[in-house]
Structure 1
Amino acid sequence: MYITITPQKLGGNYSQSSADFVGYLEKENQGLEQKNMEHFFNQYGEGILAEEVVKEIDGNGTKLKKTEPKFYSITVSPSKYELNRLQNSSEDLKNYTRELMKDYVNSFNREINGRSVTIDDIKYYAKIEHQRTFKGTDWQIRENQPFATKILQLKNEIRSIENGSMEGSIKKREREVANLERQAPHQQDGKRIVQGMPKAGNQSHIHIIVSRKDASNTFSLSPGSKHKASEVEMHGKNVKRGFDRDQFFDQAEKTFDRTFGYQRNFAETYKARKDFIKNPKTYFASLMKLPINGKAIAFKLMRETDIPIIPSIPTNQAQLALKIFNKLRKGVDVAIKSSSIGI
């Protein structure tokens, strides 16, 4: 389970309207019949039109400055193993979203009129998507890049020969291109994986747009707060503040596991990923303490994530730790820089 929370930012300022983002989320509906379309939903309703989402989110940002986010995007991406637990991807993920957003509000250390924040205090809209494409930050694209660069060079040479600005054999270069296409390490359905190619298999995931302001358009509820659960004195009063991201990500996993009866391996947990980044020694020690079957599943899961590890596992534990950490941390750094608030 990978969850990111991202403020929508353009240059130095934040998006003043959700229209572009909502339009982006409507892309999968293009060309589909009405019965096959996925529409926006919230805690209590379904079939919500994109125009209503834009109107409600844009109209709920009173007194927010251009330097403050008007809304946040939450993306929830279950793994293929988690998706396999679902009976119906669309309906199950909708139900899960509604439970997830309860975890979201419970992670705020805020009070509204002397009470804790509840699900009815937030304004959000969500949408299920079933497709994903390979991006430039994906490790398959990065590892295929040397082949892509050489192929592009050869194709440019072919065009130069065709227009007479260069001499040489077109057929020879076409054979080289064909060989490079086959030799690229990452293939899908017999073709080299390239940026923009749709990913195979079940790619269902959730996009959520949540307003920075509460449903009454009065109080600011920022999941991007740098403060966790704490209190500060303001105007002579103790005021609660902050959003506990650790709690939210951890509870999101527990809610999924409880809802769908999922048996989560150590390598899939948010705590494990955080330990890997913050305290690799603790991460590796926990990994080594797993029972044999659990350890085998953990390494299998690690190989199949978007962060690659070495193809063969050395038996020496020190060597194993060094190679895994060096390889994985490079991938994690890229993922963090290209995503969101995250870990």
Structure 2
Amino acid sequence: MYVTISPQKSGGHFATSSADYVNYLEKENQQLPDQEKELFFDAESDSISPETVTAEIDQNTAKLKTSEARFYSITINPSARELGKLTSKEQLKDYTRELMKTYAQCFNREIDGRGVQANDIKYYAKLETQRHFKGTDWQVKENQPFANQIIQLKSQQQRINRGEEQGSIQQLQQQISKLEEQAPHKVNGVRITQGMLKPGDQSHVHIIVSRKDASNRYSLSPGSKYKASEVMMNGKLVKRGFDRDRFFTAAEKIFDQKFQYQRNFVESYASRKLFNQKPKAYFQQLSRLSAPQKKLAFQLLRQSGLKVPAIPANKVQLAVKTFNRLRKGLKVAIKSSSIGY
């Protein structure tokens, strides 16, 4: 499960309106008839218009400074393996609602003398079913040397067409066709390039959550660097902070319990933290997994683009050279939605 929380910016500044972001989330609806469009949802409704979302978020910004985020974006990106446990989009929506209840509980704040509750959070979520390959995706990167050669050959064809140089356009086309065939990553026989739609189930959820609580009185920032602390504000002792560890852990715990999902070690938030803090301990724990779990772990790592050497599943002896190679590659691969946050 790959979950992110980020303040929305326009260029180098915080966005003063949610309109641009809401419009961006309408991209899948642009070519659909009204009856097929996916509307926004919240804790109570499945049929919220984009205009309502923009108005509600933009009006809920009392006393916020221009240097403060008006709203945050949360994305929920289940892996292909996790999506395989779902049978309908309604299940992903229900999961989102459950997770947002925990989101409220992760604030170390009080509202009217009590802890933050789910109905204090003003949020709107949008389920999407498409994703596009980015320039940072490992498939695009590994195809790039072939793409560069193809671009050069096509430029040469254009120069020949303009009479700027001599050559055979047909021979160049044969070279281009050969490179297209040699490119390692394809979808339905077509070389993967940046912007191409990803195949399979790509369901994920975007959430727009207001910086202010539903009453428009209290600021609730999940971007706070404080997990739990107290500070004097206007002569009052005020609690502050947001427990990201608790939230990210809950994201997988709720999913696992709700859908009876058996999470592998390399898919867990705890393993990602272990890798970042103690990489040697990460690989030691990886080596101690049972044979079936170890086999699945390396399969998931390979699917993320990590070049994992052929290591026997029953006994892993990670030499220093192999360890360093895996560690370098895993820094990128662990960001994949299939194995981490």
Same fold (TM over 0.5): yes
Report the equivalent of 1:232: 231
How far 1:17 sits from its partner (Å)? 0.8
How far 1:282 sits from its partner (Å)? 2.0
More displaced, 119-128 or 164-173? 164-173
How far 1:291 sits from its partner (Å)? 0.9
**Aligned ranges 1:11-160 → 2 under 5 Å:** 11-88=11-88, 90-160=89-159
Query: Alpha carbons of 1:317 and 1:193: their partners in 2 closer, same or farther (altered >3 Å)?
Result: same
- Would you say the 8 A contact 1:100–1:255 is kept in 2? yes
- Would you say the 8 A contact 1:309–1:328 is kept in 2? no
Q: Which amino acid aligns with 2:328?
A: N
Matched, 1:329 2:331: yes
Report the equivalent of 1:270: 269
- State the SS of the aligned residue for 1:302: helix
Report the equivalent of 1:309: 307
Q: Which amino acid aligns with 2:107?
A: F
- Identity among equivalent positions (%) equals 55
- State the SS of the aligned residue for 1:209: strand
- Would you say the 8 A contact 1:39–1:47 is kept in 2? yes
In structure 1, stretches of 5+ residues that fail to align are: none
How far 1:245 sits from its partner (Å)? 0.8
Q: Which amino acid aligns with 1:84?
A: G
Question: What's the CA shift string for 1:13-66, capped at 9, x where partnerless?
Answer: 111111111111111112223332211010011210000000000111112122
Query: Alpha carbons of 1:152 and 1:302: their partners in 2 closer, same or farther (altered >3 Å)?
Result: same
- State the SS of the aligned residue for 1:75: strand
Report the equivalent of 1:293: 292
Task: Provide the C-alpha distance between the structure 1 equivalents of 2:188 and 2:153, rounded to a whole number of angstroms.
Answer: 24
Task: Provide the C-alpha distance between the structure 2 equivalents of 1:85 and 1:309, rounded to a whole number of angstroms.
Answer: 27
Task: Provide the C-alpha distance between the structure 1 equivalents of 2:145 and 2:193, rounded to a whole number of angstroms.
Answer: 12
- In the alignment of these two chains, the number of paired residues is 335
- Would you say the 8 A contact 1:223–1:245 is kept in 2? yes
Q: TM-score, normalised by structure 2?
A: 0.93
- State the SS of the aligned residue for 1:126: strand
Report the equivalent of 1:209: 208
More displaced, 253-262 or 6-15? 6-15
Q: TM-score, normalised by structure 1?
A: 0.93
Task: Provide the C-alpha distance between the structure 2 equivalents of 1:121 and 1:54, rounded to a whole number of angstroms.
Answer: 18
Query: Alpha carbons of 1:160 and 1:131: their partners in 2 closer, same or farther (altered >3 Å)?
Result: same
How far 1:109 sits from its partner (Å)? 1.0
Q: Which amino acid aligns with 2:306?
A: P
Task: Provide the C-alpha distance between the structure 2 equivalents of 1:252 and 1:291, rounded to a whole number of angstroms.
Answer: 25
Question: What's the CA shift string for 1:137-182, capped at 9, x where partnerless?
Answer: 1111111111111111111110110011122121121111111111
How far 1:236 sits from its partner (Å)? 5.6
In structure 2, stretches of 5+ residues that fail to align are: none
Task: Provide the C-alpha distance between the structure 2 equivalents of 1:145 and 1:10, rounded to a whole number of angstroms.
Answer: 30
Q: Which amino acid aligns with 2:308?
A: I
Task: Provide the C-alpha distance between the structure 1 equivalents of 2:237 and 2:277, rounded to a whole number of angstroms.
Answer: 32
- Would you say the 8 A contact 2:301–2:308 is kept in 1? no
How far 1:320 sits from its partner (Å)? 3.4
Q: Which amino acid aligns with 1:215?
A: A
Task: Provide the C-alpha distance between the structure 2 equivalents of 1:166 and 1:275, rounded to a whole number of angstroms.
Answer: 58
